[in-house]
Amino acid sequence: MSIDAILKDLTDAIKAQTEALNRQADTMDKLMTVDMSAAAVATEKEKPAPKKKRAAKAKPVVELVEPIVEPDEPAVVEPEPATLMTKEVAQERLRGIASQLTDTAPLFELIKKHGGAQFSDLDPSCYEALLSDAEAELATQKAIS
């Protein structure tokens, strides 16, 4: 089959579908017109519907009562337990400081100062002090350079 024949067949099929759709649209328009005119006639003949009575609101079976709090009574606030910095967090912060230092020898001296030969030897209570000393060392090296 040649391309011209295929195109002619497609064109004929499209025309046939278009005609069928146009007929359906005309039928729908006629139906809508009839429905609208019937609705207009119906509304003229009908009286307005009486208003429906609303049901009474249901009363709650149980009334909610707010708890009584004595104003003179001080609120009890339990202090949160002091949290020590975790080894991982301290180690990461120390690595960050070490990466910015040109000479890391002062970090090893600080670790020895706080009681360890290496970081893993330190007591977790020393981490904060070690980090503040390390940050001071970093600030000093930055000021020099």
Residue located via tokens 């649209």: 25
Residue range 68-95, pLDDT digits in tens? 656 665 666 665 555 667 889 899 999 9
The pair of three-digit structure tokens given for residue 140, joined into one six-digit string: 């000093």
Residues 6+ apart with CB under 8 A from 93: 131
Confidence check: pLDDT of 48 > 80? no
Residues 6+ apart with CB under 8 A from 107: 94, 97, 98, 101, 134, 137
Confidence check: pLDDT of 42 > 80? no
Position 135 scores a pLDDT of 92
What pTM, to 2 d.p., does this model score? 0.43
Residue located via tokens 């070690």: 130
**How far is CA 12 from its chain centroid?**
55
Residue range 96-127, pLDDT digits in tens? 999 998 888 888 899 999 988 888 888 888 88
Position 82 scores a pLDDT of 56
Position 66 scores a pLDDT of 62
* Average pLDDT rounded to a whole number, residues 133-141: 90
Q: Give the Cα separation of 122 and 9 in Å (integer).
A: 89
Confidence check: pLDDT of 63 > 90? no
Q: Give the Cα separation of 110 and 98 in Å (integer).
A: 12
Query: Would you place residue 25 in the very low, low, confident or very high pLDDT band (cuts 50, 70, 90)?
Result: confident
Position 109 scores a pLDDT of 92
